[in-house]
Structure 1
Amino acid sequence: MADIYIGLMSGTSADSIDCATLDLSSKDIKVLDCRNFEIPKDLRKDVIQSSQLKKIEKELIDNLDFRMAEVLVETVKKIIDELNLEVEDIKAIGSHGQTIKHEPKSEMPYTLQIGDPQKISNDLKIRTVGNFRYDDIKAGGEGAPLTPVFHKIVFGEDKKKKVIVNIGGITNITALDHTEVIGFDTGPGNCLMDCWSRENNVGNYDDKGSWASLGTVNQSLLETMMDDDYFSRKYPKSTGPDYFNHKWIKDNIAKSDNKISPEDVQATLLQITVLSLVESINLLNLSKETIYLCGGGVHNEFLCNEITKQSKAKVNTTLDLGIDPDYVEAICFAWLAKQRIHNINFNLNKITGSKGEVYLGRIYEPSK
């Protein structure tokens, strides 16, 4: 009999919801289905605007929390219907939620994801695991990235050194070795390029990096941007599009004496993603290992070509390891939901810096 777990992931780009349906009745991870659902335009717009605000009122948070939960509920209903699933066969939903704020280094460290897991649980009458970052931050950790523990299980069985790089809104890296696992956010992934594309009416994103490819990297702006303290900070570290945002771009452009064309800015932003990643790979002495890319960034051909060129490494995608690069995170959170249901905890000291073993996720039972 199948033990069904559904993973829901809305990345920092806030463009869509990735859904993965797994059968975890054995030790093997059996992927039954993966699909993607767009986030309604009005909600996406409000999410992006809210993430750029310095302070968000509770009323707005509650509104977004409710609306995102509604979208996630409808998403699961479609999956249940289209896959002809029996609700009683679904052991749990793992819902990461949509990140609005991530401030692990503030005076009172916190992280904020919307998409109320209790509402999801209540509406669907299915146990839901959410708030995956909470306990890690409480234990003094960064709260992200969490995917390296999953990467170790699915990609590290052969005990060979390799690099897993997820390029979503933010880029995170997992260094897999047979002795330990290290993971952290290297810096922006797509978030700055997406932001600048919207600002200049190119679209919600730069398709295949074609706009950036028309520009020329402005070395002065590149140096100014790479001088940001985040890039020189030692890991464990994490960040979000609430930091690498529209204001961050504008503030750095303002430091430049010369007028820079929009496409040259875009070319430079792409290089920020490449350079911060390549520097992290070199820092970990992994430049001779194979890099496996996943996340939305795999569709940015110009970005991937630049990573290949500048890292001098062999660059593949996780498809070569057997998992669709678009759905690694959604699959991860379905898997993490099972770990939480079975009360399995993790030592993330080398990844997030938290102390001791922590549970990833809180369990929300349907209200009776």
Structure 2
Amino acid sequence: MQPEDFYILAIESSCDDTAAAVLHNDKVLSNVVANQSIHAEFGGVVPELASRAHQQNIVPAVTAALQRANVTKEQLSAIAYTQGPGLMGSLLVGSSFAKSMAMALDIPLIGINHMQGHILAHFIDEPGFDKPEFPFLALTISGGHTQIVRVDAPFKMELIGQTTDDAVGEAFDKTAKILGLPYPGGPLVDKYAASGNPDAYSFPKPKVPGLDFSFSGLKTSILYFIQKNRQIDADFTDKHMADICASVQKTIVDILMDKTKLAVAQTGIERVAIGGGVSANSGIRKAMEDAHKNLGWKTFIPKFEYTTDNAAMIGISAYFKYLDGDFTSVTETSKARIEF
């Protein structure tokens, strides 16, 4: 193979999805995700159960990824894995497997920052999806993170804004729990919001200086709002579910967009890319499309399968590191918390 012609097997195991992907250079040949449904009955991810499920799923996921890509393990040029951040038990399953396989095949190992993976997912060679030019702003929104990042190069990133408490995905899920919706509730809030009136109810927006976010106060105000109205009408939630969800979603989207507009004004960068699981939300996608039309921004919205946790984003990040010969020692450890 020529230096520009290589195959990377990528593994993602930061939380409760076991994912494996095979990339040929910057093109995805397969992208397999094994979900863990067991957490639904507990209303959230249970770390010990997640790590056990990863142990059960990782071999089938990797096998399926290689088979769907029609690539043998002997053709692989490198093994990539999520080094952090995430649940330590889950990370260790993926890193241990990746290290063992890389050593057995005597090929390079590449550790990847999960959050950088969400941002670099925009550089997957995917028909119909443009790649952002540097520099650009990345709004990374997920169940565990809410960040605004200035991106000047694939691994030259500056965190310029982040949540001071709850992440936006957590705010959606906790709102759903207050409303009696099953876990994961974020997608259900989005679904109900589609048929509701976003101006039916008003919720306060937190006053946080600079480019940082806060969602804990909003979550509390929603809780008090529901409790107050249920005292008046026990069926209030069921009767007004669509309007409540639409109003909550509008408030959250407004908070995200207000800070993103401020970031654009402060940096002068009008190229904005979204990533992370919450970027699948229809409200934030529409808001970004509106910003493209009305504000003149150049906006980038990834293919749906690259928004939630997946291994393709780990693979494309490893692609850039492979080009630079930036490999990871098998002695490096996984990290529950990791900086840019």
TM-score, with length taken from structure 1: 0.59
Aligned to 2:254: 275
Structure with greater helix share of residues: 2
Q: Partner amino acid for 2:330?
A: I
| CA–CA separation in structure 2 for the residues paired with 1:157 and 1:303 | 18
Indicate conservation of the 8 Å contact 2:8/2:76, yes or no: yes
Aligned-partner residue type, residue 280 of structure 1: K
**Distance change (3 Å), C-alpha of 1:305 and 1:171:** same
1:290 Cα offset (Å): 4.2
Counterparts of 2:137 and 2:304, CA distance in 1: 14
Q: 1:163 aligns with which of 105, 125, 137?
A: 137
Q: How big is the shift at 1:77?
A: 1.0
In structure 2, the partner of 1:91 is 77
1:114 aligned onto 2:87: no
Partner Cα distance (1:115, 1:251) in 2: 35
Give 1:6's aligned residue. 9
| C-alpha distance in 2 between matches for 1:343 and 1:307 | 33
2:336 corresponding residue in structure 1: none
Identity over aligned residues, as a percent?
Answer: 11
Change (3 A) 1:364 1:333: farther
| Matched letter for residue 67 of structure 2 | D
Letter paired with 1:50? V
- DSSP 3-state at the match of 1:363: coil
Q: Measure how far apart 1:304 and its partner are.
A: 2.0
1:182 to 150, 158, 162: 158
Higher mean C-alpha deviation, range 257-266 or range 66-75? 257-266
- In the TM superposition, what is the alpha-carbon distance from 1:115 to its structure 2 partner? 4.8
Out of 277, 283, 294, the residue aligned to residue 302 of structure 1 is 283
Alpha-carbon deviations, 1:208-241, whole Å to 9, x = none? 9231241545776433xx25xxx54666x9x9xx
- Partner residue in 2 for 1:40: 36
1:289 maps to what in 2? 270
Cα distance in 1 for residues equivalent to 2:244 and 2:90: 30
Question: Judging changes above 3 Å, is the alpha-carbon distance between structure 1 residues 331 and 304 closer, same or farther for their aligned structure 2 residues?
Answer: same
Describe the superposition over 1:113-146 as per-residue Cα deviations: whole angstroms up to 9, x where unpaired.
535211454479466857745xxxxxxxxxx743
**Alpha-carbon shift at residue 65 of structure 1 (Å):** 2.7
Quote the Cα distance in structure 2 between the aligned partners of 1:130 and 1:34. Answer: 19
Indicate yes or no: 2:245 matched with 1:266.
Answer: yes
**Secondary structure, in 3 states, of the residue corresponding to 1:85?**
coil
SS in 2 for 1:182: strand
Considering only aligned residues, what root-mean-square deviation do their CA atoms show, in Å? 4.7
Q: Is the 8 A contact 1:22 1:334 kept in 2?
A: yes
Match of 2:65?
Answer: 79
Matches within 5 A, 1:234-253: 251-253=220-222
Tell me the alpha carbon deviations over residues 299-319 of structure 1, each in whole angstroms, 9 at most, x when there is no partner.
Answer: 432332244457843464446
- Take 1:285 and 1:327, find their aligned partners in 2: how far apart are those partners? 24
Q: TM-score, normalised by structure 2?
A: 0.63
Change (3 A) 1:177 1:209: same
Within-5 A mapping of 1:305-316:
305-309=286-290, 312-313=294-295, 314=297, 316=299
Aligned length: 296
CA contact (8 A) 1:3 1:23 kept: yes
For residues 123 and 78 of structure 1, the distance between their equivalents in structure 2, rounded to whole angstroms, comes to: 16
Structure 2 residues without counterparts, runs of 5 or longer: 125-129, 231-235, 333-340
